[in-house]
């Protein structure tokens, strides 16, 4: 486990370097994809197991110390940090964790999708202000049940202790997502598209007059005026400085 933690910490350092190289965003603006199983906030790192959130003190980067374990239901998939809060996506629920005490996260809310929208599946999350956007990817025998449907779900998290579903939007096989200004980008692997939504009105999303064809998009990072999309074979780099226009400016093979 210690070797894994040191690897994750090295990835954080590499991420900082790539940020300096690729963007002109503010130095305190976090940069990460949405399909990730660990998050760093100050001197603490939060790592997901299938049914557990492990909190490590990383004050000494070479010697991380396990401080706390928080047990959840089975099926944790992704973790996102926003506004001193952790958002966890699982195969069945959206968890909201209060980290006012960063060493001891506590569950502030759990939105059970089986009861609120009627289906389950793999679940990355992006958060913007009082709203959370979550893609539900349903693949037979892997995520969720074949009879269900894949979708983008919008939550109102104004009251973090009681998130409410604002809407669901059918998709094919959605993966990672991110946003800039009033636009949400979703990797829809099943459609071989980067789908773009206008989120000016979070209660009623509209498809933007642009979508970007690409093979097997998986995750993305929006960093300043640029967006990096990870596919199975390469990283594609886009200029998003004049939305809704999106202009490809490069690619890096994997």
Query: pLDDT by residue (tens digit) across 71-82?
Result: 998 889 899 999
Structure tokens at 166: 């604002």
Over residues 31-63, the pLDDT tens digits come to 456 778 899 899 999 999 989 999 999 999 889
Structure tokens at 78: 């992704």
Give strand ranges (E) for 22-84.
Answer: 38-41, 44-49, 52-57, 65-71, 76-82
Q: Which CATH class is domain 2-253?
A: mainly beta
Structure tokens at 54: 């492990």
Distances from the Cα of 195 to the Cα of 152, 169, 179, angstroms: 11, 12, 11
Beta carbons of 96 and 107 less than 8 angstroms apart: yes
The residue among 242, 250, 176, 233 whose CA lies nearest residue 210 is: 242
Q: Is the whole model's pTM more than 0.85, yes or no?
A: no
């Amino acid at each position: 486990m210690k070797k894994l933690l040191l690897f994750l910490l090295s990835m954080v350092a590499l991420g900082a370097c790539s940020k300096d190289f690729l963007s002109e965003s503010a130095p305190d603006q976090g940069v990460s994809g949405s399909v990730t199983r660990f998050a760093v906030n100050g001197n603490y790192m939060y790592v997901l197991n299938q049914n557990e959130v492990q909190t490590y003190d990383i004050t000494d980067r070479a010697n991380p110390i396990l401080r706390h374990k928080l047990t959840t239901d089975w099926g944790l998939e992704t973790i996102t940090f926003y506004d001193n809060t952790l958002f966890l996506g699982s195969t069945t629920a959206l968890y909201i964790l209060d980290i006012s005490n960063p060493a001891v996260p506590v569950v502030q809310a759990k939105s059970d999708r089986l009861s609120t929208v009627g289906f389950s599946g793999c679940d990355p999350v992006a958060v913007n202000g009082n709203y959370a956007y979550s893609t539900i990817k349903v693949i037979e025998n892997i995520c969720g049940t074949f009879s269900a449907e894949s979708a983008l779900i919008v939550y109102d998290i104004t009251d973090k202790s009681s998130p409410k579903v604002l809407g669901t939007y059918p998709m094919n096989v959605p993966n990672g997502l991110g946003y800039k200004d009033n636009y949400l980008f979703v990797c829809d692997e099943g459609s071989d598209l980067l789908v773009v939504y206008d989120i000016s009105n979070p209660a009623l999303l509209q498809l933007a007059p642009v979508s970007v064809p690409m093979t097997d998009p998986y995750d993305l990072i929006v960093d300043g005026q640029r967006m990096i999309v990870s596919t199975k074979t390469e990283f594609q780099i886009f200029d998003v400085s004049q939305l809704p226009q999106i202009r490809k400016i490069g690619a890096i093979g994997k």
